[in-house]
């Protein structure tokens, strides 16, 4: 009971002297629009006009702007590492990998040569080799037919488990293969042309490349038909399908599971989780009816696709034309330094992160962030206690879970060891990327028979993002997001609570969204709800989802309020909880204007500015298919219209477009 009692502690202000603080940047506003007509445009229109979409981006907003700042900081680190660093050192690994990515002359001279040996291996394989080859891809190179991963057991969060997951779709989502609206057909045609182009670059004659494209499209379309929908994959109870090894062999006999496991470097597996049984059944069927050449064409394409960004410019251009231009609407490729930088920043992420933190993350930021987190926990605890739709029994369990959160801020206490990766400039760029990927995959599979490492971070410090992990019941805020406009020590409380405060509340609320609520305080998938409470929660969630599904995103296509349910609930909860925490501060209790705006107005304007962005129509349509987050405009205009204080802050009344009748407003957390 002591932990629950701590929730009654009042939140403290982060800042004390309003007169010297940053408030609202009026340049971000579009005052030609009333906040009651389109609050997103009013709050962000000035920023959007001043930041027209650069053709190298499909979407660019304040979130991406902060990521650009982080990228520039990482560039300053990597480009000053120098040469001649000791072999195997972080500086040697990071510096050499970046330098190889920048060596366009060598890459263009090598063309498809780095692929030759592996393509020959695939071409010379026999049916008995296919299971081993699929596992070879799963070691960091791709997901032909399906995917595999080691993660915490959903019902035993201290134990790791091997999962088999639907995959094999180059376009990422089943709808790109099955729907027939104009944009989807356009993307599908571009993808088929890409397969032909890529296979020709890899050495296939035109006729053979066309045959390969036919095989790839036929296989991936079959996989798409069997795949779970996006909405279905949100239900963890449908994904938890345990099988013993003997059952796996009996149900899916056309995969040599002994050879598959051996190629992953694991043995002694007694049970696995088949997350989508129908998908794996389709794989089993395909491996029984496809010819050897069809399988080889599919695998050869998967290899060339995986390597395409690390080869000559014609490979990179082909990759860009489908995945960036056709899918997202990007018009210009990012400069080479950004593309090269992303490789060590990803494959040697914590090595780069260690250098990043040393230079850019002050210890004081971590302390201030911890205070904010504590304040938000107080507010969420108050909300849970005051819920009218939840019974006392479920409230106790919810408060126990809240007070069991692990909070990670800035960077891990222990850094990853990458000494096992040999970055050798005598080999091709792709060979080194492949080695780094395989090293990472081997590390992941090596965790199978070890206890879950709950100190491990799922993001690097230089990543501009945050997350909630249900299996460890943790919230994490990497160093790079703790910068303006999300977190600014020189800004007033309203700005910080409206920005990073909502991010904190968002991640906390994920522990209680439509997925997170299925896990208890120890990270186990346990039903800690009464049936009545679960029914009331679902009714409220469905009502919220309907608000988003009513929004048209482009070309008559509606947003998917079911697919985005978890993120929408988290936005909704983050706003409500952070606003309550803000009102506990001295500034929040008062009504002192800064830059002509009241504290409540500054809070909502700060929140809107977090999601300011410009975006292509293609990217809107793509994200509506594959992204569980709502578009920025809906994260603002739909979410805030459920908060009574928003209407009061801006005097919004019935008859204005932003107004929502009180009976139609949703309050979940």
CA distance 8 to 381: 8
Confidence at residue 21, expressed as pLDDT on a 0 to 100 scale: 57
Element (H, E) at 313: helix 313-320
CA distance 578 to 504: 8
Residue at a domain's end among 276, 291, 306: 291
Q: Is residue 244 over pLDDT 90?
A: yes
**pLDDT band with cut points at 50, 70 and 90 for residue 16:** very low
Structurally, the chain folds into a number of domains equal to: 2
Q: What is the pLDDT of residues 116-128, one digit of tens each?
A: 999 999 999 999 9
| Block residue for tokens 């089993």 | 284
Q: Is residue 151 over pLDDT 80?
A: yes
Q: What is the mean pLDDT of residues 48-73?
A: 95
Has 256 been annotated as catalytic?
no
Confidence at residue 483, expressed as pLDDT on a 0 to 100 scale: 87
Contact (CB, 8 A) for 150 and 273: no
Residues 260 and 145 reside in one and the same domain: yes
CATH number of the domain residue 258 falls in:
1.10.1380.10
Residues 391 and 526 reside in one and the same domain: yes
Other CB atoms within 10 Å distance of the CB of residue 563: 24
Burial classification of residue 304, based on how many CB atoms lie within 10 Å of its CB (0-12 exposed, 13-18 middle, 19 or more buried):
buried
Report percent pLDDT > 70 for the chain.
97
Instruction: Using alpha carbons, select from 504, 477, 492, 503 the residue that is nearest to residue 588.
Output: 492
Q: Is residue 7 over pLDDT 70?
A: no
Q: What is the pLDDT of residues 253-267, one digit of tens each?
A: 999 999 999 999 999
Q: What is the pLDDT of residues 481-540, one digit of tens each?
A: 998 888 887 888 999 999 999 999 999 999 999 999 999 999 999 999 999 999 999 999
pTM for the structure as a whole: 0.93
CA distance 625 to 560: 8
List, as one string, the DSSP characters of 167-198. Answer: ---TTSSTHHHH--SHHHHHHHHHHHHHHHHH
CA distance 196 to 202: 10
Confidence at residue 22, expressed as pLDDT on a 0 to 100 scale: 66
> What are the angstrom distances between the C-alpha of 351 and each of 88, 345, 605, 629?
12, 8, 37, 29
Q: What is the pLDDT of residues 352-397, one digit of tens each?
A: 999 999 999 988 888 889 999 999 999 999 999 999 999 999 999 9
Q: Is the peptide bond before 396 cis (omega within 30 degrees of 0)?
A: no
* Residue among 492, 571, 600, 618 flagged as catalytic: 571
Q: What is the pLDDT of residues 632-653, one digit of tens each?
A: 999 999 999 999 999 999 999 9
Residues 284 and 393 reside in one and the same domain: no
Q: Is the peptide bond before 485 cis (omega within 30 degrees of 0)?
A: yes
Q: Are strands 146-153 and 271-274 parallel, antiparallel or unpaired?
A: unpaired
Report percent pLDDT > 90 for the chain.
93
Q: Is residue 17 over pLDDT 50?
A: no
Instruction: Using alpha carbons, select from 215, 86, 46 the residue that is nearest to residue 144.
Output: 215
Q: Give the pair of three-digit tokens for residue 81.
A: 């590492």
* Residue range of the domain that includes 247: 128-291
Q: Is residue 229 over pLDDT 50?
A: yes
Contact (CB, 8 A) for 91 and 82: yes
Residue 360 lies in a domain: no
CA distance 301 to 298: 5
Element (H, E) at 157: strand 156-166
Confidence at residue 619, expressed as pLDDT on a 0 to 100 scale: 97
* 625 vs 7, higher pLDDT: 625
Residues 658 and 515 reside in one and the same domain: yes
Q: Is residue 313 over pLDDT 90?
A: yes
What mean pLDDT, rounded, does the chain reach?
94
**pLDDT band with cut points at 50, 70 and 90 for residue 172:** very high
* Residue among 507, 513, 618, 619 flagged as catalytic: 507
Has 231 been annotated as catalytic?
no
Confidence at residue 485, expressed as pLDDT on a 0 to 100 scale: 82
Residues 395 and 251 reside in one and the same domain: no
Residues 504 and 653 reside in one and the same domain: yes
- Count each helix (H run) and each strand (E run) in the chain, helices first: 31, 11
Residue at a domain's end among 260, 291, 322: 291
Residue 590 lies in a domain: yes
Q: What is the pLDDT of residues 543-585, one digit of tens each?
A: 999 999 999 999 999 999 999 999 999 999 999 999 999 999 9
Residue at a domain's end among 291, 306, 329: 291
Residues 395 and 519 reside in one and the same domain: yes
CA distance 124 to 108: 27
Q: What is the mean pLDDT of residues 311-317?
A: 98
Q: What is the mean pLDDT of residues 132-155?
A: 98
Strand, helix or coil at 116?
helix
Other CB atoms within 10 Å distance of the CB of residue 494: 32
């Amino acid at each position: 009971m002591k932990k629950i009692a701590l929730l009654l502690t009042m939140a403290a202000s982060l800042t004390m002297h309003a007169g010297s603080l940053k408030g609202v940047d009026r340049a971000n506003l579009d005052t030609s629009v009333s906040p009651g007509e389109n609050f997103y445009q009013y709050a962000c229109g000035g920023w959007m006009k001043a930041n027209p979409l650069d053709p190298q981006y499909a979407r660019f907003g304040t979130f991406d702007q902060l990521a650009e700042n982080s990228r520039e900081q990482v560039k300053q680190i990597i480009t000053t590492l120098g040469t001649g660093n000791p072999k195997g050192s972080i500086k040697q690994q990071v510096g050499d990998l970046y330098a190889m990515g920048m060596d366009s002359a060598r890459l263009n001279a090598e063309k498809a040569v780095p692929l030759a040996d592996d393509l020959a291996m695939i071409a010379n394989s026999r049916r008995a080799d296919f299971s081993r080859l699929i596992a070879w891809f799963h070691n960091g190179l791709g997901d032909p037919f399906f995917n595999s991963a080691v993660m915490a057991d959903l019902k035993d969060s201290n134990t790791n488990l091997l999962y088999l997951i639907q995959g094999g779709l180059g376009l990422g989502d089943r709808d790109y293969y099955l729907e027939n609206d104009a944009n989807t057909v356009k993307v599908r045609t571009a993808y088929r042309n890409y397969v032909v182009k890529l296979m020709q670059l890899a050495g296939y004659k035109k006729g053979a490349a066309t045959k390969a494209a036919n095989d790839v499209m036929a296989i991936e379309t079959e996989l798409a038909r069997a795949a779970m929908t996006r909405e279905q994959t949100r239900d963890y109870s449908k994904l938890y399908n345990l099988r013993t090894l003997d059952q796996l062999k009996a149900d899916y006999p056309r995969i040599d599971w002994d050879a598959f496991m051996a190629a992953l470097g694991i043995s002694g597996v007694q049970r696995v989780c088949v997350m989508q049984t129908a998908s794996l059944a389709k794989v089993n069927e395909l491996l029984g009816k496809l010819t050897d050449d069809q399988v080889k064409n599919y695998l050869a394409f998967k290899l060339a696709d995986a390597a395409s960004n690390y080869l000559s410019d014609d490979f990179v251009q082909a990759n860009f034309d489908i995945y960036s231009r056709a899918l997202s609407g990007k018009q210009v490729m990012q400069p080479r330094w950004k593309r090269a930088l992303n490789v060590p920043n990803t494959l040697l992420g914590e090595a780069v992160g260690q250098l990043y933190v040393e230079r850019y993350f002050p210890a004081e930021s971590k302390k201030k962030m911890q205070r904010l987190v504590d304040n938000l926990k107080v507010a969420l605890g108050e909300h849970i206690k005051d819920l009218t739709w939840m019974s006392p029994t479920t409230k106790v369990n919810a408060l126990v879970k809240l007070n069991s959160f692990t909070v990670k801020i800035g960077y891990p206490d222990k850094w990853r060891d990458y000494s096992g990766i040999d970055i050798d400039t005598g080999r091709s760029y792709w060979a080194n990327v492949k080695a780094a990927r395989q090293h990472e995959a081997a590390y992941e599979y090596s965790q199978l028979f070890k206890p879950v490492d709950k100190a491990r971070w799922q993001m690097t410090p230089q990543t501009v993002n945050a997350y909630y992990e249900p299996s460890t019941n943790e919230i994490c805020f990497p160093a790079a997001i703790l910068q303006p406009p999300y977190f600014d020590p020189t800004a007033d409380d309203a700005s910080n609570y409206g920005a990073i405060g909502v991010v904190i509340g968002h991640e906390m609320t994920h522990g209680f969204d439509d997925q997170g609520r299925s896990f208890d305080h120890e990270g186990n998938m346990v039903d800690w709800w009464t049936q009545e409470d679960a029914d009331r929660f679902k009714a409220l969630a469905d009502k919220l989802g309907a608000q988003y599904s009513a929004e048209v995103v482009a070309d008559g296509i509606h947003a998917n309020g079911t697919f985005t349910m978890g993120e929408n609930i988290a936005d909704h909860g983050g706003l409500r909880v952070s606003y309550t925490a803000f009102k506990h501060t001295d500034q929040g209790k008062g009504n002192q204007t800064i830059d002509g705006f009241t504290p409540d107005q500054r809070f909502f304007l700060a929140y809107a500015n977090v999601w300011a962005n410009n975006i292509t129509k293609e990217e809107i349509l793509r994200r509506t298919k594959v992204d569980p987050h709502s578009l920025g405009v809906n994260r603002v205009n739909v979410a805030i219209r459920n908060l009574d204080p928003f209407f009061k802050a801006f005097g919004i009344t019935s008859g204005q477009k932003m107004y929502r009748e009180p009976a139609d407003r949703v309050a979940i957390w």
